[in-house]
Structure 1
Amino acid sequence: MELIQEHTDLAAYLAADDAVDHGHPLVEETADALWSTTGDAYSYAKAAFEFVRDAIPHSADSGDDRVAWRASDVLGTRNGICYAKAHALTALLRARGIPAGLCYQLLGDDDGTNLVLHGLVALCLPGGEGWSRVDPRGNKPGVDAQFTLDRERLAFPVRPELGEIDYPGLYAAAHPATLKVLQESADRTQLWRNLPTGL
């Protein structure tokens, strides 16, 4: 899908903020460890994606009630929903100078009901051919997201006939609706009740 950039300056997609806090020691330490096993931007980006996808369970899968929203907290607790895991991957990519942004889909249950926002990541590798979306949500039966830049292998295909949407925006910072619900939810149960239903 064609991503619409919020900013034309790639510097915006390398910046740190409260949620994508890639200057935090834990983010830097994790990035250093991943870089030491790879050594080039593509291999590092793939390793960072697989680390966030596989080593940090989605809290809906693990049953963890804690709500993390900062990238450093996601790495520290090894826990988060899609938005939080997207913050963590974005921070790890930016920590090594790889422009990365946040993207969103509107997804529903199997029958298309209960539509809520889902968060994922787009990255732009040096020498690459533009932006590619990847989804670090975490795999499980029926979900097989992969690090592929030539064709998308996201966690969930969008079903427009059921009202699902692939939003084309590419955000340098977390969308306020997602950040608000993460910051204001005391636990995952409250978070689930208040998930945003659109942008």
Structure 2
Amino acid sequence: MHMSEYPPPVADFLMDTEVVDFHHPQIQSLAASLSGRTPLLTAKNCFDWVRDHIEHSIDFHREEVACKASDVLRIGTGLCTAKSHLLVALWRAHQIPSGFCYQRLIFGGDHASYCTHGFEAVWLEGLGWYRCDARGNTKPGIHCEFTPGQENLAYPIIREGERLFPDIWALPWPELVTALESLPDISQYLRDPIDVHPPAASGWVDAPATPPNTA
């Protein structure tokens, strides 16, 4: 995906919501500490902080489950989707338009279950939309950096049935939020990964008519 191929964001990509609760005092305080000299540096600071300071639940064998951005910050851990909620909240606290992206991946091997993987997209003035993945580089083989102009997502689409959804959503998928909020612990997720589908309603930035292959 090239950044210029998607249209500019609308106001929805700056919204404070129940899940992306960037007006929470702790998020506001952290956002202020991550402010850079330019919006681009601020966006990178926020990305690096979430990637490196919020432990991926599976990588660090954490059992707590969080969904809301402020809860992710409070407990210091989250699945990829939960980490994306916090990162988007930090960007929006700086009035940087941002949204959510998703993949459907095979979880646990070639013959295992599917899961929904979440990552982020940010609008950078003069550059356009940039997709990036702050899930954390603590899993062998993953090395995600914030490098506008060069997309490096955590997971390429390589196995049958996997899919990268090309759109950018202003809100996390409702079915995903419900599943996260209902999840008792990460052990349950490992037994039965969350595998949901995009909402039928509007609320996203449409992809190009013929998106390029990002596998």
TM-score in same-fold range (> 0.5): yes
Cα 1:112–1:168 shift into 2, 3 Å: farther
Q: Which residue of 1 aligns with 2:26?
A: 26
Q: Which residue of 2 aligns with 1:15?
A: 15
SS in 2 for 1:94: helix
Q: Which residue of 2 aligns with 1:145?
A: 144
CA distance in 2, matches of 1:164, 1:197: 13
Is contact 2:121–2:131 with CA below 8 Å preserved after alignment?
A: yes
SS in 2 for 1:111: coil
Code of the aligned partner of 1:63 = H
Q: Which residue of 2 aligns with 1:181?
A: 179
Give the structure-1-normalised TM-score: 0.90
Considering fraction of residues, name the structure with more helix.
1
Partner of residue 80 from structure 2, selected from 79, 82, 97: 82
Give the structure-2-normalised TM-score: 0.84
Is contact 1:102–1:174 with CA below 8 Å preserved after alignment?
A: yes
Aligned length: 194
Structure 1 stretches of at least 4 aligned residues deviating more than 3 Å after TM superposition: 2-5
Is contact 1:90–1:101 with CA below 8 Å preserved after alignment?
A: yes
Code of the aligned partner of 2:115 = V
SS in 2 for 1:115: strand
Is contact 1:98–1:126 with CA below 8 Å preserved after alignment?
A: no
Matching of residues 1-199 of structure 1 within 5 Å:
1=1, 10-35=10-35, 38-108=36-106, 109-111=108-110, 113-128=112-127, 130-140=128-138, 141-159=140-158, 161-192=159-190, 193-199=192-198
CA distance in 1, matches of 2:111, 2:30: 38
Code of the aligned partner of 2:86 = A
CA distance in 1, matches of 2:110, 2:182: 29
Q: Which runs of 5+ in 1 are unaligned?
A: none
SS in 1 for 2:116: strand
CA distance in 2, matches of 1:32, 1:78: 18
User: How far is the alpha carbon of 1:111 from its aligned partner?
Assistant: 2.2
Q: Deviations over 1:138-159 (max 9, x none)?
A: 0122111111221211111112
User: How far is the alpha carbon of 1:112 from its aligned partner?
Assistant: 6.0
Is contact 2:9–2:97 with CA below 8 Å preserved after alignment?
A: no
Considering fraction of residues, name the structure with more strand.
2
User: How far is the alpha carbon of 1:185 from its aligned partner?
Assistant: 1.1
Q: Which residue of 1 aligns with 2:206?
A: none
CA-atom RMSD in angstroms: 1.9
